[in-house]
Structure 1
Amino acid sequence: MGGHYKTDTDALGKFVASLEASVDELSSARTALAHIRGDQIGTARLDEACDTFQDRWRYGTEQLSEQIGDISEGVKENKLSYEKLENDLADALTKFQTSTSGGK
């Protein structure tokens, strides 16, 4: 059965790191644009559109960051569960082998 199902816990760890990096990238992009105000661009209509975009961008990136954080936490928990299962199974097999071989 083991040959048919395999979980690469290292890949899960890399995925978590990638998710966390994406949150940092979103935050950096929002921070870089935060200092640009609509009143620096030109017409009142363009200023208003810029301010509206900034508000929506902030809200959207905050929501996306929160969701990515939730996914990251779930993947971390799964990774830990797989690692625990592998360790527990290895321990159980070792104990079984010891008990069936008479401790030899």
Structure 2
Amino acid sequence: MSDFTVDVDFLAKLSKDLQGCASELEEGLKALKDVGPTGLGFDFLDDSCAHFQDKWEYGLKKVHECVKVLHEGLDQVQQNYAGTEQGLTKAMSGGN
């Protein structure tokens, strides 16, 4: 029989790291908005910047959706494993 362990602290850290990832993407988007997609001196650069900003916003929205689902799922998994460990510890120690 193989050993199977779950590090609930690692699951919590992973969930937090995922949220940080989305925050960093937001900061990049904010910086791009602050610069603005126009006024770079060339129409093709302005158009490219606007196109990139639109794609970034769309991608960021999708990342947020995924991070939210993963965060909720990881929280549930963490709670389930913690509850299982507590139940097993209680059962093994003869506690009620």
The answer to whether the superposition gives a TM-score over 0.5 is yes
Structure 1 runs of 4+ aligned residues shifted over 3 Å read none
Query: Structure 2-normalised TM-score?
Result: 0.87
The structure whose Rg is larger is 1
The residue that corresponds to 1:60 in the other structure is: 59
Query: Structure 1-normalised TM-score?
Result: 0.81
1:14-67 CA distances to partner (integer Å, 9 max, x unpaired)?
Answer: 111111111111111111111222221012222111111111111111111221
RMSD: 1.9
The residue that corresponds to 1:92 in the other structure is: 91
Q: CA deviation at 1:93?
A: 2.1
Count matched residues: 96
> Secondary structure at 1:40's aligned position in 2?
coil
Contact 1:26 1:65 survives alignment (8 Å): no
Structure 1 residues 63 and 72, CA, compared in 2 at 3 Å: closer, same or farther? Answer: same
Q: In 2, Cα distance between the equivalents of 1:40 and 1:82?
A: 54
The residue that corresponds to 2:49 in the other structure is: 50
Segments of structure 1 that go 5 or more residues without pairing to the other structure are: 99-104
Identity %: 28
> Secondary structure at 2:38's aligned position in 1?
helix
Q: In 2, Cα distance between the equivalents of 1:87 and 1:56?
A: 46
Q: In 2, Cα distance between the equivalents of 1:32 and 1:80?
A: 37
Q: In 1, Cα distance between the equivalents of 2:24 and 2:70?
A: 16
The residue that corresponds to 1:21 in the other structure is: 20
> Secondary structure at 1:41's aligned position in 2?
coil
